[in-house]
Amino acid sequence: MLTKRIIPCLDIKNGRTVKGVNFVDLRDAGDPVELAAAYAEEGADELVFLDISATEEKRKTLAKLVLDVAEQLNIPFTVGGGISSVEDVDILLKNGADKVSINSSAVKRPDLINKLSEKFGSQCVVVAIDAKNIDGKWKVHLVGGKVPTDLDLFEWAKEVEQRGAGEILFTSMDHDGTKNGFANEALARLSDELNIPIIASGGAGNIQHFQDTFQKGKADAALAASVFHFKEIEIWELKRKLRSAGIPMRI
């Protein structure tokens, strides 16, 4: 069995790390450069940096901040927010990102997934999908969860894989920031229907939630923010306990 990954997420707004509940009510969580350095030191397997207002504000990801964060890291680093072209990705990779995450731009221009995969390799392309369960159906949302679509989560995920994405980062908007656990039923279905890794996001509140998403949700990686930012869970302790539960971890 492949090693499972623990991934802290830095949601960036106005150059600061922020965290909210159900994509709203944001509060400050610290300096992203300092947090990145600390997570690399504490044993995180990867780091995700999302410029959460870039798409809404119709601007590019903060390339200089990406460079500053990358200089602190010796682990894989994924950057997302406001990415809409091959040129955007080129800049971010040159500034130290290992992978990029696209969301709204992928839905609006699905061929962007193909172009990025062809130019940079599928291992570089993460497609983030934010979805909400509405009347029993998971519907994809764009622009930081503000714009609903009629796209079905599972159909879109299959298309994303066919177009060359290397990973999917699935965030359940219903679970985001609630600390009630991940959307394991949807995650398990994604894992069963796809052949690329699935990163679980939204709902981490305790160590058991991580164990459940790996065992019940069949996730390949688990992403979390506030429980790490505010020291509610220490990464080294989380990984030690997961490994003792039989889940393969890099320690």
Can you read off the two tokens belonging to residue 96? 């130290």
Q: For residues 131 and 150, is the Cβ–Cβ distance under 8 A? A: no
Task: Kindly name the residue from 45, 51, 88, 130 that is annotated as catalytic.
Answer: 130
Is 130 an active-site residue? yes
C-alpha 183 chain-centroid distance:
14
**Which residues have CB under 8 Å from 112's CB, separation 6+?**
84, 85, 102, 105, 106
Question: What is the per-residue DSSP string for 30-67?
Answer: E-HHHHHHHHHHHT-S-EEEEETTTTTTT----HHHHH
DSSP string, 135-183: TTEEEEEETTTTEEEEEEHHHHHHHHHHTT-SEEEEEETTTTTT-S---
Find tokens 């504000």 and name the residue. Answer: 57
Residue 135 catalytic?
no
Distance, in Å, from the CA atom of 249 to the CA atom of 5, rounded to the nearest integer, reads 7
Amino acid at 22: N
* Active-site annotation holder among 11, 45, 51, 220: 11
* Active centre residues (catalytic): 11, 130
